[in-house]
Structure 1
Amino acid sequence: MNMPNLAVQALALTVRHLKQFGLERILHLGASFRPLSSSTEMTLSANALQQLEVLKNNADGSESGSLLQSMNQTLTIFGSRLLRHWVTHPLCDRNMICARLDAVSEIAESMGSSKAPQNVEQHDAEDSFVTNLKPKLNYILSSVLTTLGRSTDIQRGITRIFHRTATPSEFIAVIQAILYAGKQLQQLQIEEEGSKENLRGKTGRSDLLRKLICTASSSTVIGNAARLLSTLNKEAADKQDLPNLIISDGQFPEVAEARMEVQLAKEKLDSLISLYRKQLGMRKLEFISVSGTTHLIELPLDVKVPSNWVKINSTKKTVRYHPPDVLTALDHLALANEKLTITCRAAWDNFLSGFGKYYAEFQAAVQALASLDCLHSLAVLSRNKNYVRPVIVYDDEPVQIHILSGRHPVIETTLQDNFVPNDTDLQADREYCQIITGPNMGGKSCYIHQVALIAIMAQVGSFVPASSAKLHVLDGIFTRMGASDSIHQGRSTFLEELSEASHILHNCTARSLVIIDELGRGTSTHDGVAIAYATLHNLLQQKKCMVLFVTHYPKIAYIRTEFPGSVEAYHVSYLTSNRDMDTVGMQSENEDVTYLYKLVPGVSERSFGFKVAELAQLPSSCIRQATIMAARLEAVVNSRARNRHGKNWLLKSLVTDQKKEAQDEMLESPECLHVGWSPVLEETNGGAYQKFFMNLKAAIIDVDDPVQSFQYLNHARSIARELISSIVHFSDKQSFLKSVDTAAATEADSKRRISSIL
């Protein structure tokens, strides 16, 4: 295995650490090593998993309401663990995705899915056999998985066996479960082997499904499992009777020898009773046991015994003794039993060590069973929720996401028939970016969530909640959603936003899906709009990836003019009640809003924040005051827009007329004739003339601030003086300056007249 030097050093330290616990053997298996990243798996960061609520919801952190919870129909613990891995590591290989989809389709058909052909008339025996096989597949598979779900966790069980920490009862339970599953699934394999080529063509059973069934029901696994179980005594295992656990004496001769020593010690001890019968003259004398003390001789009080007999206990009528020979024999028996226990424990440890050579095949069988459980779960999901099989396009086709009547897999479960589906149509060589606006709580985030989750489900190998779906394999899904901070690290909400945006810009590719929701709301409006616009521009120009961009800044939609045909604006539709004429264009406190949750072309200019304030139960007085303030601000903005439009029109006409009049007067004056002035000179000093007229324009526009207007006029007069001194050479400069001052006064008067008009 080719690994970097640092990885080898880390592995050596890991081996040394595991040796303290006797666990270093796990590193001998190639299956223990796996790259941190793979080209066959989609990139899903922890941030994306959290914001898309793939594993946990963002409300209380539980699994309820997550994508995994809605998809998980597994019947076993180890199958549930594998499905969790599948959901967090979607595939990026089209062939592997289609293999899973084929397997899910086959299992769903065997369940009698409505999408599968029903009551098809068969014309030959082979077709009839195939038809009967399909329901048998479902019956056997569900029966096996249900039984395994009620038994122990066999995946962790074989790991404990491999590390020699499993108890005998646990060992037997795990191996019995694997043996049962293999024998049951072997029925399908035997039928398949009867006419393998014909059956493969008739049933359409996927190669993946066939491979998993064959691995789980391998004759090698079944044979080894039966042989291992034949070595152990189940009753002794249940009683934790280690000395009697091993059955096969031929496999462990030392156990047989220790058992023989125990047996001889018992026989020698039992033979002493005949000696004491003769010695005491009692034919019916027997050893008795009292309170765990064995081989006691019980005699009446008046019977005399040798002085070296040890009195153990007595009653009112009897006395119980241990003769010296019995004590010696008991010591020999205890020593033999202890030796047997040690021998059996060593034999059990060797037995578990011997399992290591079977571990790989048993692990593969359990992994196959887990995969079958996941595929069965996805088949149940597709059948129960009316999902459809997605079409995965080839890699050489343009990156695309086409979803017809897509639904959110989690929210749909809650709303059921009340959920409003939406279409998605993105393609790299056409429209690959959607800018989405709309009112608060109108369904914007739900829509972009559902697109991402449908893409994840498709690449997991699952059917998807839609009428139809055609998708390209994505190499990653990148998200920027929600508001959060990290106070203990000194990171503000806005810094977190930009950090996520930076991660997207540095890591996404043309085959990625990028979802951005409300970028820029953590700072001022102007900064937020600018950063959001620049981020989107970079994605469109540099990355050209699939983009869903949700915003409350309608001006961002102007980016369509820079990328015609590639960017379109949409909004979630709504209906509003009729309003009074004097409140048109302003916020209304009593306005009713009906959300339609349907994505339609266009830009929404309103967010209806006051309706959310009502839902949040803000005090009515607070909402009323906010409504009044919003109406005032909106009126000011509208008034400024109208004034600006009128001023621009008047200024344009005024400047044009004044410039023409000035040129005419200059051309007609004898002084101009004297110096040879012409309009070409004005072009030569175009910068000065431009500054002159810009200051005049600013003085006229700024009607609300006379001081500022006067400053602009003074600046214009200074520029005029410089132009006079450098270009115009009058014989009487004083009279010309006087005329300039008169013109400035006239400009100020014109400004006052324009202000009165506005």
Structure 2
Amino acid sequence: MAGYTPMMEQYLAVKAEARDALLFFRLGDFYEMFFEDALTAARELDITLTGRGAGQEERVPMCGVPYHAAEGYIAKLIEKGYKVAICEQVEDPKASKGVVRREIVRIVTPGTVMESRQVGEALNNFIVGVAELDGRFGVSACDLTTGELYVTSFATVREAVKNVLNVYKPVEAVGDPAALAIVEQETRGSGRSVLCTERTSPEDLAWLGRQFPDEPWPHHEEVRRLAVARLIGYLSETQKRSLAHLRTVKAYDPQAYMALDAFTRRNLELTETVRDRSRKGSLLWLLDRTRTAMGARLLKRWIDQPLLDRDAVEQRLEAVEALHRDWMRREELRTELGEVYDLERLVGRIAYGTANARDLNALKASLQRVPAVQSLCREIGSDPLTHLADRLDTCSDISDAIEQAIAEDPPVSVREGGLIRSGFDHKLDELREASRNGKRWIAELERQEREATGIKSLKIGFNKVFGYYLEVTKANLGSLPEGRYERKQTLANAERFVTPELKEKEALILEAEDRMVDLEYETFVRLRDEIAGKIPRLQQLAEGLSALDVLQSFAEVSAERRYTRPEWSCGYEMRIEDGRHPVVEAVTENGVFIANDTELTPESAILLITGPNMAGKSTYMRQVAIISIMAQIGCFVPAKRAELPFIDRIFTRIGAADDLVGGQSTFMVEMKDIQVMTEQATERSLVIIDELGRGTSTDEGMAIAQAVIEYVHHHIKCKALVSTHFHELAHLETSLSSLRNGCMAVKESADGVTFLRKLVPGAADSSYGIYCAQLAGLPDDIVSRAYSLLDGRTSAIRETAAAYSEAPSKPPAAESQQVVQLSMFAESKPDVKPVKPASAAQQKLMEKIRKLDVMRMTPLQALEWLNDAKIQLNENGETL
């Protein structure tokens, strides 16, 4: 650093403490950046890059942002994945004899952002600590804004790691290199940016002991202790302040919750939609009638982790039922909860020392609602709600202390005064009176000076440079007495003066105001610190109010949507009467949704569903899974009646897409998912597969589909819903004792095909793919040609499919393959005399005739159909 100025040497020394962060170096009213940091910040923030002399021959790159606007610039850098180290002046420049002492006061990272508007009020912002030890993987997850801290562990299995990461969706991860490598691998291509920082500091366990001195760590698994230690050590070193709101480590076993892999969460659209990853259109969007931000966050966690504990689920359902039937008190409860602020984040700011007086008033207003909430819960009369009400701490001592101390409408800044109520502090009241008296004295002085000089425009003003002054226009300068006024400033049209009396009173006023501001700040900080000592009580209250908010949300949507309380089967059976897809029903324009029954028992564990595209197969299968999830989070379900088993995990294979990042095709992605299912599914699982085997050739796809179905039937023996266009697989009903056929009903008429969206027993004989293509607007020539090809090739395709069904593991002979070889431009059969090709209208009519169920038509219906067909042809100028 030889040759640099003292200030630049200080900068370089501070920068060495945060090499992986952009350093915001406070110089007066700006945060300045130098060298590579300046180049990066200028590019990312689109601000001007300049230079500064630093004692060297060449100027060093420099850019800066105003300190009062720094928060927005820091947020932009964090969103782009950078860390920002904030370096402040830590001594009064007036008292410094050399370079002002500066220190890093905090390092802001994606996982340590504290501002709610950057994170989103209804969202968590998790940073995870990870460790791997002896084949076990430990994960700790913390939301610094709310004080939540969780830890779990499991065998180091790729799918298990991915499932837990999908629960927390971390923006940042710290930990052992080996564990971080797994995190990076499992989040690659997820669309989420995760900043990873290696951490193996031996000091981490010391940080852990200081943060949680009473935690019985010997009772925890070692890999869990390491995961928490990595995280706490990192947070302690980067935040450089109290983490008093991190008081409890909530350890849990992943096996206590239903397992949902990334594809299942995406395919069922639990918290975001597949199309644009938006909240609207998801199950979370539908169920969210919460009134608090902390309730909205808890709702998402409940959806992410459905319970496997029947007693815990029944407690939730009991509370929901009580709220469901008492509409009036539920509405009153919603009103009260609507006045409760985000206690979790208020507590976080109090612990961090960033809460202002308005935050304390928000806390007071929230606490004042708790007695009414307690009363309503007890009046409703449900044991779970009464128990919850009894656990709510009103924290009246905290609200009373805030009420007595904090002004009704304080300023945002805690350094400007106006924070403390009159009458709270005797010394403060004296200073305020001195300030008011001084200002009255100045007003009286202004009146006296006007009378003494006869200058009516004379006025007394104030600025931070000169303090108080008398201002006289130049036209009136001759009216001033000699020797009494001391000139301080000359303006274009006036002169400013001071007098000894004015300076003396100014000193008294300013001293009183400075002391007053300092005393108010000291009083406020003392109160804030006292509240910080009671954080565990506030956090427990926040947990109770959040849970109550989610329960009333379930009751509200259940009442509005006519949901019913589910019942639990003793074992395997799943029976749903008039089940509905809750989200599809909610967004249906006319509000009409065709309900369907579901019955899965040991004798009918697998339902093989056939039918056309757009007929509702996928919606039906999804609704069965979503009903199970809703029941296991404690919500009523969209059905007339539901008897359900506890599902330990759900696998879905719906709508596969290429994994471009991993270099895998649609079919390979599908096969890998099937492989995971075969490894991890149990008898208590629910498997949903949509169009199994469609990613490869028809013959091989059908063979794989049958083999997978047989494996599920013979080995896993779980409940499964499988849809397919391979109608030939319907014969499996005769060979697999627990498989039943079902199809989506279709109504055909002279006007076309109507999809009834009703599941009925039996197998479909057509997928109506060409009809769907016609609905999509394909040209008539293509549609007509497709119908022609279908007519000439259907018999050959069926023959080949039959051959596969008889010997699925043996490929057909070469000559058999030649039979089904299709040509898009095949000529007419050689033994048939060429005729004039049928028109599009004639082709369409012939297809309708082929599909007519003549045996079920009355003579009158047949005549009406024939007459309609004749009219349609005549309109086109054609004949039969």
TM-score by length of 1: 0.68
Q: Secondary structure at the match of 1:234?
A: coil
Q: Mapping of 1:643-654 within 5 angstroms?
A: none
Contact in 2 for aligned 1:511/1:546 (Cα 8 Å): yes
Letter in 2 for 1:226: D
The 5 A counterparts of 1:110-149 are: 110-111=326-327, 135=328, 137-148=329-340
Moved more, 43-52 or 235-244: 235-244
- 2:385 equivalent in structure 1: 209
Tell me the alpha carbon deviations over residues 134-165 of structure 1, each in whole angstroms, 9 at most, x when there is no partner.
x4x335313213444xxx54442332223222
Counterpart of 2:787 (choices 597, 621, 627) is 627
Q: Which amino acid aligns with 2:299?
A: L
Residue in 1 that maps onto 2:419: 245
> What is the percentage of aligned positions where both structures have the same residue?
28
Aligned-partner Cα distance in 2 for 1:38–1:206: 30
The one-letter code sitting in structure 2 at the alignment partner of 1:391 is E
After superposition, where does 1:335-734 map in structure 2 within 5 Å? Answer: 335=511, 337-393=513-569, 397-413=570-586, 414=588, 418-427=592-601, 429-564=602-737, 566-577=738-749, 592-637=752-797
Pairwise CA distance, 1:265: 8.7
Q: 1:638 to 1:165 in 2, by over 3 A?
A: closer
- 2:202 corresponds to 1:14: no
Report how many residues are paired: 585
Aligned to 1:38: 254
| Cross-structure match for 2:288 | 72
* Matched residue, 2:129: none
1:53 Cα deviation (Å)? 1.6
1:299-310 mapped onto 2 (5 Å cutoff)? 301=478, 304=481, 306=483, 310=486
Partners in 2 of 1:263 and 1:3 — Cα distance? 59
Aligned partners of 1:140 and 1:184 also within 8 Å? no
For residue 597 of structure 1, what is the amino acid of its counterpart? R
Matches within 5 A, 1:99-178: 99-111=315-327, 135=328, 137-148=329-340, 152-178=341-367
Partner of 1:29: 246
Give the deviation of 1:423 after TM superposition. 0.9
Instruction: Give 5+ residue unaligned stretches, structure 2.
Output: 1-216, 805-812, 820-880
Change (3 A) 1:55 1:159: same
Q: In the alignment, what sits opposite 1:61?
A: 277
Amino acid at match of 1:573: A
Letter in 1 for 2:790: A
Task: Tell me, in whole angstroms, the C-alpha distance in 1 between the residues paired with 2:817 and 2:267.
Answer: 48
For the residue of structure 2 that corresponds to 1:75, the secondary structure is coil
Offset at 1:370? Answer: 2.4
User: Are 1:310 and 1:323, in contact at CA under 8 Å, matched by a contact in 2?
Assistant: yes
Conserved in 2, the CA contact under 8 Å of 1:301 and 1:317? no
Residue in 2 that maps onto 1:751: none
How far the C-alpha of 1:606 sits from its partner, in A, is 1.8
What are the Cα deviations for residues 673-728 of structure 1, in whole angstroms up to 9, with x where unaligned? xxxxxxxxxxxxxxxxxxxxxxxxx9x99999xxxxxxxxxxxxxxxxxxxxxxxx
Tell me: CA distance 1:544–1:13, structure 2 relative to 1, closer, same or farther (3 Å): same
Indicate the larger mover: 1-10 or 265-274: 265-274
CA–CA distance in 2 between the matches of 1:59 and 1:188?
Answer: 42
Q: 1:603 to 1:274 in 2, by over 3 A?
A: closer
Give the counterpart letter for 1:422 in structure 2: N
Which has the larger helix fraction? 1
Counterpart residue number, 2:498: 322
Counterpart CA distance in 2 for 1:39 and 1:23 is 36
- Return the structure number with greater strand share: 2
The alpha-carbon distance between structure 1 residues 269 and 367, as it changes in their structure 2 partners (threshold 3 A), is: closer
Spell out, residue by residue over 1:550-603, the C-alpha distance to the aligned partner (whole angstroms, 9 max, x if none). 112234344444532x2212111223459xxxxxxxxxxxx9333222222222
CA distance 1:633–1:266, change in 2 (3 Å): closer
**Shift of residue 238, structure 1, vs aligned partner:** 6.6
CA distance in 2, matches of 1:560, 1:451: 21
Residue 223 of structure 1: how far off its partner (Å)? 3.0
Give the 3 Å change call, closer, same or farther, for CA 159–277 of structure 1 in structure 2: closer
Structure 2 SS opposite 1:59: coil
Q: How much is the aligned-residue C-alpha RMSD, in angstroms?
A: 4.2
Q: CA deviation at 1:469?
A: 0.6
Looking at structure 2, the residues matched to 27 and 357 of structure 1 have their Cα atoms a distance apart, in angstroms, of 8
- Match of 1:235, SS state, is coil
Query: What is residue 673 of structure 1 aligned with on the other side?
Result: none
| Alignment CA distance shift 1:456-1:327 (3 Å) | same
SS of aligned partner of 2:258? coil
| In 1, Cα distance between equivalents of 2:448 and 2:273 | 84
Q: Is the 8 Å Cα contact of residues 608 and 724 (structure 2) preserved in structure 1?
A: yes
> What code does the residue aligned with 1:537 have?
E
Aligned residues of 2:398 and 2:531 also touching (Cα < 8 A): no
Per chain length, whose mean CA-contact separation is higher, i.e. which structure has more relative contact order (CA < 8 Å, sep 6+)? Answer: 1
Q: Given the superposition, is the C-alpha separation of residues 38 and 26 from structure 1 closer, same or farther in structure 2, using an over 3 Å criterion?
A: farther
Moved more, 67-76 or 474-483: 67-76
Distance (whole Å) between structure 2 residues aligned to residue 29 and residue 187 of structure 1: 30
SS in 2 for 1:39: helix
CA contact (8 A) 2:407 2:419 kept: yes
Residues 471-503 of structure 1 show CA distances to partners (whole Å, capped at 9, x for unaligned) of 111111111111301223211111111121122
Identify the residue that residue 177 of structure 2 maps to in structure 1. Answer: none
Q: Which amino acid aligns with 1:355?
A: I
Relative distance call for 1:621 and 1:40 in structure 2 (3 A) is same
Aligned partner of 1:101: which letter?
L
TM superposition shift of 1:301: 4.0
Contact 1:182/1:222 (CA < 8 Å) preserved in 2?
no
Contact 2:630 2:637 in 1 (8 A): yes
Separation in 1 of the partners of 2:278 and 2:228?
Answer: 35
Secondary structure of 2:533 counterpart: helix
CA distance in 1 between counterparts of 2:447 and 2:589 reads 89
Q: 1:277 to 1:43 in 2, by over 3 A?
A: closer
- 8 Å CA contact 1:457–1:464 kept in 2: the answer is yes
Deviation of 1:391 after TM superposition, in Å, equals 0.6
Q: 2: distance between equivalents of 1:108 and 1:640?
A: 57
Structure-1 residue corresponding to 2:856: none
Query: Is the 8 Å Cα contact of residues 436 and 551 (structure 1) preserved in structure 2?
Result: yes
3-state secondary structure, aligned to 1:511:
coil
Asked whether the 8 Å contact 1:388–1:466 carries over to 2, the reply is: yes
Per-residue deviation, 1:21: 5.4
Offset of residue 405 of structure 1? 1.2
In structure 2, the CA distance between the partners of 1:530 and 1:261, relative to structure 1 (3 Å rule), is same
Aligned mate of 2:305, from 61, 86, 89: 89
Q: Give the TM-score of the pair, scaled to structure 2.
A: 0.59
**Residue number in structure 1 paired with 2:842:** none
Contact 2:343–2:538, Cα closer than 8 Å, also in 1: no
Say whether the 8 Å CA contact 1:178–1:366 is kept in structure 2: no
Quick one: distance in 1 between partners of 2:445 and 2:281?
A: 80
For residues 731-746 of structure 1, the aligned pairs below 5 Å read: none
Q: Which amino acid aligns with 2:753?
A: V
2:401 paired with 1:224: no
Distance apart, 1:90 and its partner CA: 1.6
2:674 match: secondary structure = helix
Q: Assess, with a 3 A threshold, how the Cα gap between structure 1 residues 59 and 615 changes in structure 2: closer, same or farther.
A: farther
Structure 1 residues 51 and 239 mapped into 2: Cα distance closer, same or farther (>3 Å)? closer
The change in CA–CA distance for 1:643 and 1:401 in structure 2 (over 3 A counts) is: closer
User: How far does residue 55 in structure 1 lie from its aligned partner after superposition?
Assistant: 2.0
Q: Structure 1 stretches of 5 or more lacking a match? A: 112-134, 193-202, 579-590, 645-697, 705-758
SS of 2:661's partner is helix
Q: Give the aligned partner of residue 147 of structure 2.
A: none
